[in-house]
């Protein structure tokens, strides 16, 4: 049992409140998973400034500090900026968000060069996400504590995705924490389990994909990223996922300009969608939505099995 939340803002007047609203949604799902929690935030001007590309990473993803519960980065942001700047030969800006660091450089430098620099400087680093618009923050601990450590209440932007995890398929580590963001500006969160993930993992490895965890959700994320890289849109990629993966699941997939939800054929994992003129939201339970502005005016419904629900910016 895990908790999923997502918020896609249609009204730019709400962009300054994205983090505040997403924090309330995430914390309401704490009882569905208190092992770890992660978020993806699109469009925050500090983490992903315009004209730059960002990489979110943990230098030492297995480190647990008894004093902080692992809620702080092992390497301070200024030190990480110096180390990465030396490696790249140009200035790098780094912001701390709890245990995650978010580095950004001019778009001309590119995310590949920045990811390579991170891996060179910290060979065991976990790349949590990358792109022009997304910051992906991961950590182990209670969702309420992590949200504060990330600085999530103050985040801004147009879209956010969150997940609270109760581990069933793999270890409680940042590597097992959702969202999985394995393509540019992409992320996927999942409640449920894929029963044939080992076979699909093997097939993806055979085509050159590498994996950061033993989590079944990462297999789904890499499958979707593979299809998007081949030119599929999100809806088509998710339709193919429903015919390829077995199991029980509710998925929320996002990229820089879209936000999509799908459930398996039996739809035994809970989900509710709310549509309002100012926003679209999804959560595992209605209680995560009650704090949204105008919720009493929203259209509420339960997504149907294997139907793709998608919204575009």
The residues annotated as belonging to the active site are 2
Cis peptide before 179 (omega within 30 of 0): yes
Region of residue 32 (left: phi > 0; alpha: psi -120 to 50; beta: else): alpha
State both tokens at 49: 């400034």
Using the structure block, give the residue that is written with the tokens 């704090």.
291
What is d(CA 120, CA 107) in angstroms, rounded to the nearest whole number? 20
State both tokens at 111: 């995310």
Of 206, 306, 172, residue with least CA distance to 249: 306
Residue 18 contacts by C-beta under 8 Å, 6 or more apart in sequence? 7, 9, 41, 43, 44, 155, 156, 157, 158, 159, 160
| Cβ-contact 262, 306 below 8 angstroms | yes
89, burial (CB in 10 Å: exposed 0-12, middle 13-18, buried 19+): exposed
257, burial (CB in 10 Å: exposed 0-12, middle 13-18, buried 19+): middle
In order of 42, 85, 159, 266, the CA distances from 300 in angstroms are: 24, 48, 19, 20
């Amino acid at each position: 049992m895990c908790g999923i939340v997502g918020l896609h803002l249609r009204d730019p007047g709400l962009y300054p409140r994205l983090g505040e609203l997403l924090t309330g949604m995430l914390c309401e799902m704490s009882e569905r998973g208190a092992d770890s929690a992660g978020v993806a935030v699109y469009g925050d001007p500090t983490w992903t400034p315009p004209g730059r590309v960002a990489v979110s990473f943990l230098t030492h993803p297995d480190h647990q500090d008894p004093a902080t519960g692992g809620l702080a980065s092992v390497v301070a942001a200024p030190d990480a900026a110096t180390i990465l700047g030396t490696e790249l030969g140009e200035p790098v800006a780094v912001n701390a968000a709890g245990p995650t660091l978010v580095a950004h450089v001019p778009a001309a430098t590119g995310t590949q060069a920045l990811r390579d620099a991170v891996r060179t400087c910290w060979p065991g680093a976990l790349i949590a996400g990358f792109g022009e618009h997304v910051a992906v923050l991961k950590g182990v601990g209670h969702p309420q504590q992590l949200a504060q450590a990330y600085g999530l209440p103050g985040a801004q932007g147009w879209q956010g995705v969150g997940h609270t995890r109760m581990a069933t398929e793999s270890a409680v580590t940042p590597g097992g924490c959702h969202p999985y963001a394995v393509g540019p500006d992409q992320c996927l969160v999942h409640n449920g389990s894929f029963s044939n993930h080992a076979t699909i993992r093997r097939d993806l490895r055979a085509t050159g994909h590498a994996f950061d965890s033993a989590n079944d959700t990462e297999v789904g994320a890499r499958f979707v990223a593979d299809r998007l890289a081949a030119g599929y849109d999100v809806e088509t990629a998710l339709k193919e996922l429903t015919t390829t993966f077995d199991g029980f699941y509710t998925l929320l997939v996002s990229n820089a300009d879209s936000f999509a939800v799908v459930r398996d054929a039996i739809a035994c994992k809970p989900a509710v969608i709310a549509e309002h003129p100012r926003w679209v939201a999804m959560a595992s339970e209605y209680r995560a939505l009650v704090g949204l502005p105008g919720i009493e005016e929203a259209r509420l419904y339960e997504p149907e099995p294997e139907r793709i629900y998608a919204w575009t910016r």
